[in-house]
Amino acid sequence: MTDTDTVRPALAGDCHAIILAGGSGTRLWPLSRNLLPKQLLVLDGTTTLLQQTVSRVLEMFPPDHVWVVTNEEHVFEVRKQVSVLDARLETQVLAEPLGRNTLPAIMLGLDRVVEVNPKALAAVFPSDHLIRNGEAWAADLVRASELAADKRFVTFGVKPDKPETGYGYIALGEDLGGNAFAVRGFVEKPDLRTAEGFVREGSHLWNSGMFLFSAKLFLSQVARFEPVLWDWWMRRDETPLVRGYRDIPDISVDYGVVEKIDNITAVRAGFDWDDLGSWEAMYRLGEKDASGNVVKGDVLAMGCSGCLLISEGGKLAVSGLSNMIMVQTRDATLACPMDRVQTVRDVVAALKAEGSSLVESHPTVYRPWGNYTVLEEGPHYKIKRIQVNPGARLSSQMHHHRSEHWVVVDGTAEVEVNNVPVILVENQSVDIPKASQHRLANPGKVPLDIIEIQSGPYLEEDDIVRFDDVYGRVQK
């Protein structure tokens, strides 16, 4: 019998799952970018981290009890990924207008939960964790649901196997039996000496960021400790939560609620856990060759040992390296000693400060209708390869500052320019003058590939005025 065939024990009470899928994953740059963060990438196996999380959750929760919270930039990709697993999940994806950290995201999910059942229990799961041993995870979830039904706020802790300075820790109190402990407090990312003491004494667990609680209990603590968020929540019948998002504080669930409330219980995990939050974790969990290297992609490694070597863009040739990380994409390369992996966040911050687009997106950007790849760009011009999915249709739009020239490479294009329709096939082209209303669609059954040449003084993506859009992206 496979793991997915195992009959799972039932959770206590009416329990819903809230999956948080809105993070940016800056520590895995340059693979993880703002427009395609780590939870949407295939980093371990053949499915994305989000899909692995949803598959695991569906073994314990019915689809109509699963809510996925992401943001507007990722909502179409998230819906696509989860609907592959169960078509009913497409309507269970909620979009934040902008990131406001984990506490508002959880409250957005709870809005739907309490609409179904005000007395429900809610389990919160990050979408970017790697968990093995599904039976132990299910058993721990059942134990946590029993404690939550007994009016306890439950967090999941992982027994540390090394002094990790990048994780938060849970200080354990009284042993309550059944792998459950009272919580004495929390320690956020200790220094190495303190972390070594935690591991040696066995007095602390890693904070996994997973929780299970009564929705009513949780909201009462928000009312107690976060009055601004509580006021926002209480006005949701008059003004939907998403409309007030820009005015609420950016605050984590740990800082806003968890670290302040009483009667917290930790369930010590019986499952293997890792948050895949750094390149060091990718190396540690990867399959190693005879020299201790983890190698992925088109890599030539000569005389290297203990390295993580990844290429997703051209040949990566390395020689004589030890304990190094080398990650190459089509437009960026990261080189970092293994013991300096935590500084990748600083690299991303520096790139963001200089206005680099490398933080935002890969050369290939995914949209609900397909994708585009920037092939080349310079002053006053940009060349893209655009792929439109069969039956998909872009918005009817106009640009103030650029003209475009489209050449069909493969497939059939349905084009409208100023309400004049035309059908184009391979090697045919069309000009889109500046300030003209235009639209592109693929009426065929195979992907449509075109080359787009943009010219003008301003070529950024925000020079788009949408008139009509099947994906609801027209500004109100």
Taking only the tens place, the pLDDT of each residue in 390-431 is 999 999 999 999 999 999 999 999 999 999 999 999 999 999
Q: How confident is the model at residue 91 (pLDDT cuts 50, 70, 90)?
A: very high
Give the chain's domain count. Answer: 3
Q: Give me the phi and psi of 351, to 5 degrees please.
A: -65, -40
Residue 278's pLDDT band (boundaries 50, 70, 90)?
A: confident
Domain presence at residue 324:
yes
Q: How far apart are CA 294 and CA 274, in angstroms?
A: 17
Please report which confidence band the pLDDT of residue 26 belongs to, taking 50, 70 and 90 as the band edges: confident
Pick 27 or 397 by higher pLDDT: 397
Res 476: pLDDT: 57
Of 353, 377, 412, the last residue of a domain is: 353
Q: Does the structure show a pLDDT above 60 at 36? A: yes
Among 303, 326, 353, residue at a domain's last position: 353
Catalogue the E-assigned strands of 54-160: 66-71, 93-96, 121-126, 130-132, 153-158
CATH code of the domain containing 261: 3.90.550.10
Instruction: Give CA–CA dist 335/263, Å, rounded.
Output: 45
What residues contact 441, with CB distance under 8 A and at least 6 apart? 388, 392, 393, 394, 413, 414, 415
Average pLDDT over residues 74-96: 94
DSSP secondary structure of 254-305: IIIIITT-SSEEEEEP-SEEE---SHHHHHHHSPP-TTS-EEEEEEEEES-B
Mean pLDDT of 135-149: 95
pLDDT at 291 over 70: yes
Instruction: Tell me the pLDDT band of 8, cut-offs 50, 70 and 90.
Output: low
Does a structural domain hold residue 473? no
Q: Are residues 166 and 308 in the same domain?
A: no
Q: How far apart are CA 357 and CA 30, in angstroms?
A: 11
Q: What is the DSSP string of 52-65?
A: HHHHHHHTTS-GGG
Average pLDDT, the chain: 92
Average pLDDT over residues 98-122: 95
Instruction: Kindly report whether the global pTM for this prediction surpasses the value 0.75.
Output: yes
Please tell me whether residues 88 and 234 are part of one structural domain: yes
Query: Does 262 score more than 90 pLDDT?
Result: no
Last residue of a domain, one of 294, 322, 353: 353
For the CA atoms of 285, 31, 187, 249, what is the dihedral angle to 10 degrees? -150
State the residue range of the domain holding 287: 281-353
pLDDT over threshold 80, residue 250: yes
236 lies in the same domain as 329: no
Q: What is the pLDDT of residue 140?
A: 95
Residue 290 pLDDT class (50, 70, 90 cuts): very high
CATH classification of the domain holding 409: 2.60.120.10
Same-domain check for residues 298 and 423: no
State what percent of residues in the chain have pLDDT above 90: 75
Q: What is the rounded CA–CA span in Å between residue 476 and residue 472? A: 10
Q: Are residues 51 and 165 in the same domain?
A: yes
Answer yes or no: is pLDDT of 5 > 60.
no
Q: Is the pLDDT of residue 4 over 60?
A: no
- The band of 357, judged by pLDDT with boundaries at 50, 70 and 90, is confident
